[in-house]
Chains A and B, each alone.
Chain A
Amino acid sequence: MTELQKLREAFRTALDLPADAPVDDLHYQDNEKWDSLAHMSLIATIEDEFSVMIDTDDVINMSSFAEAVRILGKYGVTIND
């Protein structure tokens, strides 16, 4: 699985979305499944999946799929297809 696929999977798992749901354009709280509770689950899933520890400010700033890609870059994870 590519890093991009892994990140998409992490979003679907944490936000309880169907296996084929598009996630690349998701924004925090635009999708009703992505509420504050799901956000914590998403962070935990991403941390497990990519073996990183995300700082508080980045948890707060991770407000879209695109932001997650950018933030993971700071931790040395390059999201490529």
Chain B
Amino acid sequence: MSVFTLPQAVKEEVLLKDLSALVAHHRQRCAPYDRILAANGYEGASSVAELPWLPVRLFKNLELKSIPDDEVFKVLTSSGTTGEVSRIYLDKAAAATQTRQLGATVQSVLGPKRLPMLLVDTKAMLKDRRSFSARGAGVLGMSTFGRDHVWALDNDGHVDLDAIRGFLEKHGDAPFLIFGFTYMVWLHLYEVARDHNLDLANGILIHSGGWKKLVDQAVSPSAFRARLAEVGLVSTHNFYGMVEQIGTIFLEGPSGGSLYCPDFADVIVRDPVTWRELPPGETGLLEVVSTLPTSYPGHVLLTEDLGVVHGIDDGDWPGKRFSVSGRLPRAEARGCSDTYREAA
């Protein structure tokens, strides 16, 4: 069952209703959120674009939660290089919902069966199970969708060619899942597959983590896909998401080049000076909306990422398709692979 089903007009109708209800829900339960909306004179929205957004960095400065302290089940944190930390509070219901919706999203391309899984990373980063990095948490979250997990890197971070070969001998003849951060896949899988003639034709790659490190090596998203196709890996899906909207990911469609919004989420591109919504084709700041955040007011967030909508209802799946082109230059360097703690 797919979560990429709603044409844009239908989606906006559903989202406007659900997100307006969430605005009221959070105003009642989160005093700072209510004060921000009151100060801005918010009285209601007649479109998704009119819903009041919070800048994502506000979660670094304020404790924003809509649940009592004794219902806090998990605190997710994401810190930038300057040390400011976002805190995201989940109760049990929100934690379960995010896992379920992430699962539904990923199953849109993987199907209901767990596939044998090659992790382009090292097991060593899960050593301290009380305090994973963002990489660790991402890898662990995604492991649910695989089985017979094999790590492509050894504990010292070197490519474990024997492990990869062993995995492919056992599972290479049928669909298998490859997961890793984009630059890790480039450095530790693409080059190894090319140099050692590995057959990745049955692989389905899911990858994320920003292009910064690849841009430094002059590797564009389209070059990434093209090179991987040369080693047989044609099924690749990039995704975009952030801890401040945990459980919501925007997933690249089968044809490549565009990210799609699941039925419970959407993106809006805004002019960084006037805040007006920009039409398809124009690059601006990305706002992300999602109905998943019920325990903290993260349902409408203005990110510090630049992006562009490429089209609406004209791609692999219904709704908007877009891409992320980089970070707003003045923004704090905040990699999702930085510190990320998960506390029970």
In the complex, what residues of A have CB within 8 A of residue B83's CB? none
CB-CB under 8 A from B143, the residues of chain A are 40
Closest to A39 in B: B144
Number of A-B contacts (CB under 8 A): 46
Instruction: Point out the residues of chain B lying under 8 angstroms from A35, CB to CB.
Output: 129, 344
B342: nearest chain-A partner, CB-CB: A36
Q: Mark A8-50, 1 if CB is under 8 A from B, else 0.
A: 0000000000000000000001001001110110011001000
Does B126 belong to the interface (CB within 8 Å)? yes
Cβ-neighbour of B112 out of A44, A47, A56, A63 (below 8 A): A56
Q: Are B344 and A59 in contact (CB under 8 A)?
A: no
Please tell me if A53 contacts chain B, counting CB pairs below 8 Å.
yes
Are A37's CB and B126's CB within 8 A?
A: yes
When C-beta atoms are compared, the residue in chain B nearest to A28 turns out to be: B96
Chain B's closest residue to A31 (CB) is B344
The yes or no answer to B113 lying at the interface (CB within 8 A) is yes
Q: Is the CB of A55 within 8 A of B344?
A: no
Contact, CB under 8 Å: B141 / A59: no
Question: What is the CB-to-nearest-CB distance from B242 to chain A, in angstroms, rounded to a whole number?
Answer: 19
Name the residue on A nearest B73 (C-beta): A29
Enumerate chain A residues within 8 angstroms of B126, measured Cβ to Cβ. 37
Give Cα distance in the complex from A57 to B342, angstroms.
23
| Minimum CB–CB distance for B206 against chain A, Å | 13
**What 0/1 pattern do residues 59 to 92 of B give for CB contact below 8 A with A?**
0000000000000010000000000000000000
A35 to B141, CA, bound (A): 12
User: Could you say which interface size class chain A belongs to?
Assistant: 10 to 19
| Contact for A47 among B73, B99, B113, B147, CB less than 8 A | B147
Q: Is B9 an interface residue (CB 8 A)?
A: no
CB–CB A60/B113 < 8 A: no
**B144 pairs with A56, CB closer than 8 A:** yes
- Is there a chain A Cβ closer than 8 Å to B279's Cβ? no
A29, closest chain B residue (CB): B344
Cβ B114 vs Cβ A56 within 8 A: yes
Residues of A close to B342: CB separation below 8 A: 36
Instruction: Say which residue of A36, A40, A56 sits within 8 Å of B113 (CB atoms).
Output: A56
CB atoms of A55 and B114 under 8 A apart: yes
Q: Does B140 contact A (CB under 8 A)?
A: yes
B100 at interface, CB cutoff 8 A: yes
Residues of B contacting A60 in the complex (Cβ-Cβ under 8 angstroms): 99-100, 103, 144
* B114 touches which of A29, A36, A54, A63 (Cβ 8 Å): A54
Nearest CB of chain B from residue A62's CB, rounded to whole Å = 10
Contact present for A57 and B112 (CB under 8 Å): yes
Which chain A residues lie closer than 8 Å to B112 at the CB level?
A: 55-57
Residue of A32, A47, A54, A56 near B103 (CB, 8 A) is: A56
Query: Given A53-B113, A54-B114, A56-B112, are A32 and B344 neighbors across the interface (CB < 8 Å)?
Result: yes
What residues of chain B lie closer than 8 Å to A63, measured between beta carbons? 96
Q: Could you say which residues of chain B place their CB within 8 Å of the CB of A57?
A: 103, 107, 112
| 3 A-B pairs with least C-beta separation | A55-B112, A60-B103, A37-B129
Q: Which residues of B contact A (CB under 8 A)?
A: 73, 96, 99-100, 103, 106-107, 110, 112-114, 126, 129, 140-141, 143-145, 147, 149, 342, 344
15 A-B residue pairs with CB within 8 Å: A35-B129, A37-B126, A37-B129, A39-B144, A40-B144, A40-B149, A47-B147, A53-B113, A53-B147, A54-B114, A56-B103, A56-B112, A57-B112, A60-B99, A60-B144
What 17 new A-B contacts, CB under 8 Å, besides A29-B344, A32-B344, A37-B140? Answer: A29-B73, A35-B344, A36-B140, A36-B141, A36-B342, A40-B149, A43-B147, A47-B147, A53-B113, A53-B147, A54-B114, A55-B114, A56-B106, A56-B112, A56-B145, A60-B100, A60-B103
